[in-house]
Structure 1
């Protein structure tokens, strides 16, 4: 099984203490980005992952590429641009339930990507999030064309809505997602996102609403309440174990990585959800977007020592 993931990596500045950004003076520099977090999660579980993106031809871009390589991810297709700077964001943590992120990415270096960069690939699964098409009209058109091409190659397409209201309006999201949904096989969406986009908070109503798009697996993430999934005419839900929360950023990405890992094992829906919850639990217990993502060895060791 091999995964192809496209997205935008970012340099992240995590505050070393909680509080309003204007009062925080020290930060820890890390690397994140929703799609890259999923790629890291899968790679640490010993999956074959290729990541396609672009960064600036600058020192921060050097750091990102070195980091991607160190995670065992194929980075040969991360392009460099002399016309763009590497994107970054600064995190503000007021408390465990009030976290703000401030992004600096205009324009994104990923606008140098085009369909030719993807022609050679026929992966087992192609993964994107709603962040990439939100970056610009060009990114939205590219997303649609890539999904269409992958669909023609009979590639499974997984998509995490990952709403970013700072990038586009609710009306723009509704229009874009309705255009993309017909190509998608596995859809990840938060309960808050479903309510924002479609005015639907109930899972059964969401499934009915999405029936027209013929999506094989619908996964509603519910934060501390876990997730509920419909696949193969079955519905399954599971809550995670209660854990002390330090940083929730990246938890949804971790869930997607755990879920897709078990998808690659041809595992049951129950196992997919349990592994999604398990990886999300590791991430919320650690400061940073992906620092808490476990390796397969670590997971096996923890299972033995329980």
Structure 2
């Protein structure tokens, strides 16, 4: 059975309790993550054969991490080893990656030393039918962006399906190139694109209605998602599937969430999901991406695919850590209960 390969930087997340409490407790939780590893973890948990590709240094800490990945049922043979350190970031508990509170400590990581010609991508892509990448990697440097393009070009030449998560991390684009200078060339290779209307604007220059929040109705956002999806497919003819997610905070600590899927000229919309509390926001979008890949890989109907992906992402909000531990049964049973009660 062919595998899905998820490629990106592995990161250690340090999650301190806010207001200095982590100092008094002499403790700080550490989670192994990174957007693409989160996707791989979910897919492995759902019975999909998956490989993870990244760059780690050669040391005992990296060995522990590789063993951890393998124990999750993920093929770790796509990890190459050179460089000196594992990238990290600090995120106070209760916040998310789009919050100004995130502190990156990934400069000079092993992954940041990646350049074109440094990795045998053909070897990495053996037995691979699907490659998943995100917009985080090309945000690190021009050299890493070129390595991503090299990987995607080789995968494309091999007939591999390519998906892209338009993760927008504004803090990372610091090397003198705007996202719109880099990302369009990469999306040219993509069959599947996931993001939201604002990320599509920031990364690809797709127009966004600056008054959309003033309108603020679900129908307005869904209509904008369709327009964005159509614009992406018009600019990038290879792209056949576009997904958009919408996540809005509600007072005092909850949020509402819904998603769309655009394929073959038809838009499919998930139910609107609402929660009063959130345990951990990190990895919810990655869980949606995994759910999307899961449905497409298994040739599930579009409505079933977007429903599953949305419910998986929503369920992740109630889990501590970067990656989900939900099973397929957890997700489908919860969604079935939701629809029968509504």
Shift of 1:51: 0.8
**Counterpart-to-counterpart distance in 2, 1:220 and 1:303:** 19
Query: In the aligned structure 2, how far is the partner of 1:155 from the partner of 1:137?
Result: 24
Corresponding residue of 2:245: 221
Q: Are the equivalent residues in 2 in contact too, given 1:93–1:100 (CA < 8 A)?
A: no
Residues 12/232 of structure 1: CA separation in 2 closer, same or farther (3 Å cut): same
Q: Does 1:143 align with 2:148?
A: yes
- Separation of aligned partners in 2, 1:194 and 1:176: 13
Equivalent in the alignment of 1:233? 265
Distance of 1:138 and 1:54 partners within structure 2: 14
User: Normalized against structure 1, the TM-score is what?
Assistant: 0.89
Q: Does 1:119 align with 2:122?
A: yes
- Number of aligned positions between the proteins: 301
Matched, 1:188 2:211: no
Counterpart position of 1:264: 297
* 8 Å Cα contact 1:258-1:275 kept in structure 2: yes
Residue in 2 that maps onto 1:52: 53
Find the aligned partners of 1:300 and 1:194 in 2 and give their Cα distance.
Answer: 30
What's 1:70 paired with?
71
**What is the match of residue 216 of structure 2?**
none
Q: Pick closer, same or farther for the CA change 1:98–1:142 going to 2, 3 Å.
A: closer
Distance 1:287 1:302 in 2: 19
Q: Which residue of structure 2 lines up, in the alignment, with residue 24 of structure 1? A: 22
Structure 1 residues 151 and 284, CA, compared in 2 at 3 Å: closer, same or farther? same
User: Which protein has the larger Cα radius of gyration, Structure 1 or Structure 2?
Assistant: 2
Task: Report the Cα offset of residue 95 of structure 1.
Answer: 5.4
Cross-structure match for 1:293: 325
Scaled by the length of structure 2, the TM-score of the pair is 0.80
Residue 174 to residue 305, structure 1, CA distance change in 2 (3 Å): closer
Deviation at 1:149?
A: 1.4
Consecutive unaligned residues in structure 1, runs of 5 or more: none
Larger relative contact order (C-alpha < 8 A, sep ≥ 6)? 1
CA distance in 2, matches of 1:305, 1:69: 34
Gaps of 5+ in 2: 210-223, 248-255
Question: Per the alignment, in what secondary structure is the counterpart of residue 262 of structure 1?
Answer: helix
